[in-house]
Amino acid sequence: MQSRTLPYLLILPSLLLAAVVIFWPVVHLIEIARHDVNSFGQLGDFNDGANFTGLFAAPDFLNSLC
């Protein structure tokens, strides 16, 4: 009789790799979005969401969603 956990153990490495490939860029994107970034791509000071308030306050952005 085969172990019931063997299929889960075999799929675990691919699930971990998929989690790293999918979730790490999302976390990095959120980190970049919350900081000032210079033209060389270096993170500057934390801007407390000023990027998002400027984005949602722009009427062109809201019109582009419709």
The pLDDT value recorded for residue 11 is: 97
Q: Which letter does DSSP use for residue 12 in this model?
A: H
What per-residue string of b and e applies to 27-66 under the rule 16 or more CB within 10 Å gives b?
A: eeeeeeeeeeeeeeeeeeeeeeeeeeeeeeeeeeeeeeee
Which residue carries 């979730």 as its tokens?
Answer: 23
pTM over 0.75: no
Question: pLDDT (tens digit, 9 = 90+) per residue, 20-53?
Answer: 999 999 998 888 888 888 888 888 888 887 888 8
pLDDT at 7 over 60: yes
The pLDDT value recorded for residue 9 is: 94
